[in-house]
Amino acid sequence: MKRSSAKSPFDMLRRVENIEKEVMGLKLNLLKNLTPTGRKIISLKGILKGVVITEEDISSAKKSLYSKIGV
């Protein structure tokens, strides 16, 4: 494998910084060009209206979630 002529660490650092700036610019450009899919955003607000959650429901859920770790 052939190496190019040795450059100073400062030159290499400058090149890395330039590459980082280019990558950041590409990321920003990509984010600006992303368009929404056009789908309507569905709100889940009020989805549980009228549902009563008891302490038994909560303890059952805890047992189910934490059964493997022994809480």
Residues 6-45 have pLDDT tens digits of: 689 999 999 999 999 999 999 988 888 776 667 777 888 8
The residues, ordered by sequence, that sit 6+ positions from 67 with a Cβ below 8 Å of its Cβ are: none
Instruction: Determine contact, residues 71/62, Cβ cutoff 8 Å.
Output: yes
Instruction: Find, among 47, 51, 68, 71, the residue nearest to 59 by Cα.
Output: 71
Could you read off the pLDDT of 37-46 as tens digits, one per residue? 677 778 888 8
Each domain of the chain, given as residue ranges in start order, spans: 8-36
Predicted TM-score of the model (pTM): 0.40
Q: What's CA 59's distance to the chain center, in Å?
A: 32
Residues ≥6 apart with Cβ < 8 Å to 62: 71
